[in-house]
A and B are shown apart, each in its own frame.
Chain A
């Protein structure tokens, strides 16, 4: 097993997929009170592109990310990440595959007891053979790029929401991931900070060429970043290339979503 692939070619002529869901179902709770989150979900995430997952609260957006990360296992179906069925990988293979992931968690998931510098340096110290000098250089240059210079000795509790997200992004980028997953990257941020995060995201993706999956409530603004949009609604899943396709969907629940979330005048 060698998980060192950047993407999987699905068929001749098709775009290579970094992630593929094949007939995936996931539910929670007891047998008598089952809450179905995903029902026979099938979709592909094209490599090197940005896929946005949108939908109302509790529709399974974060669950989808956790399934890709291998933090949850599907009830049925296959989740192929760079060609590997993540639910059936052993501990070692899963860890090797995760080396290619970068994750920006909803709350940042920064380590409270570590300073900003130590948080960003952690994956380098733990997962690479770099010397302390090289780590310092790399972290300082990332801090500079993300506008965090001068904050390296602060602790997460001393940072604003936007700064926490930037530190989380800096940490996620350290191992130059091939797949970056963002869970609500702009929740709780003001419009200026939101725009700043989007610009950071675009510039880092241009530089590193990673595949991105963004789970977000920030509709329709987030659609500007998307090469593909996945809408989740009551366990069902629909794929679109842009916001205009959503507005003109043949399905009434999708059009209803567009009217409610994007406003009646939105045309894409």
Chain B
């Protein structure tokens, strides 16, 4: 009997563990595949007719105009901190004339695109994810499919387009307000030379720097739109997300966390390619 039990087909702990690992790997690959196809169809949807101009305008107002206040507050405080820290550091070497250059380059090349994308992911991306998640669990997306209406063209592509337009424009607002914040603290409060601040900035910030910031913000806009809409759209198939309202809340959290991390990680690679 003992020998029979020894060779019984009951799965061991090791084989169970390997099974779970295999299942998780397949699940992750399936998720990546789904998200890849999602991006493809969302981009194709941009060129399908009829074009939803009204919906794009609505999304531009929500994502773009609606985020201006958040962007202004974030950029002003970031610029002020940069002005303060920059002045203190540069003053030690008597290089406070470089303050304008440091503030402007940090904002235009790095902080503007990344912080704008992260703030937009938190404010508009989360809302887009929750909206699509609720539409999914209340069968509204299935209803679109059953009415032979392409949900990508109808729902997703206008959000993509609005995000890709809004993020670079908001980044420009971030840069300008941030530089103003840096000027306010560095020049007006700490006493750095106003002419040196402006001249340094005008002389050292090149078109290539501005182009880098623009490329980054376009890429981040696409990334945030992709992750946030994708997590909401697939709220019903993602493993371990729970059901109903719980799945939507988890997907929304995941959307913001994933997009913020993706923005920060891809920022490094983009910088290394674009520099």
Contact = CB atoms under 8 A, between A and B. Distances in A.
A95 B148 contact: yes
Interface string B16-58: 0001000100000000000000000000000000100000000
B188 interface: no
A187 to B, nearest CB: 13
Nearest to B146: A103
A32 B16 CA distance: 10
A112 B140 contact: yes
Nearest to A71: B142
B149 A105 contact: no
Given A30-B23, A32-B19, A107 B139 contact: yes
| Interface footprint category on A | 20 to 34
A41 B111 CA distance: 60
Nearest to A96: B148
Interface string A64-104: 00100101000000000000000000000001101101010
| Interface footprint category on B | 10 to 19
Given A107-B139, A109-B139, A127 B146 contact: no
Per DSSP, chain B at the interface is: helix
B154 interface: yes
Contacts of A220: none
Given A30-B23, A32-B19, A127 B142 contact: no
A111 interface: yes
B73 to A, nearest CB: 28
A98 B23 contact: no
A105 B140 CA distance: 9
Contacts of A126: 50, 147, 149, 154
| Of listed B19, B139, B154, residue having the most chain A CB within 10 A | B139
B139 A122 contact: no
B271 interface: no
Contact of B148 (A66, A71, A109, A127): A127
Interface string B121-155: 00000000000001100111011011111100010
A107 B149 CA distance: 19
B143 A109 contact: yes
Interface in A101-125: 101, 103, 105-107, 109-112, 122-123
A95 B138 CA distance: 21
B149 A109 contact: no
B227 to A, nearest CB: 23
Nearest to A175: B147
B147 A123 contact: yes
A101 B148 CA distance: 9
A103 B146 CA distance: 7
Nearest to A111: B140
A71 B50 CA distance: 24
Given A30-B23, A32-B19, A127 B139 contact: no
Contacts of B148: 95-96, 98-99, 101, 127
Interface of B: 19, 23, 50, 134-135, 138-140, 142-143, 145-150, 154
Interface of A: 30, 32, 66, 69, 71, 95-96, 98-99, 101, 103, 105-107, 109-112, 122-123, 126-127, 171, 175
Given A112-B135, A112-B140, 6 more contacts: A71-B142, A101-B146, A103-B142, A105-B143, A112-B134, A175-B147
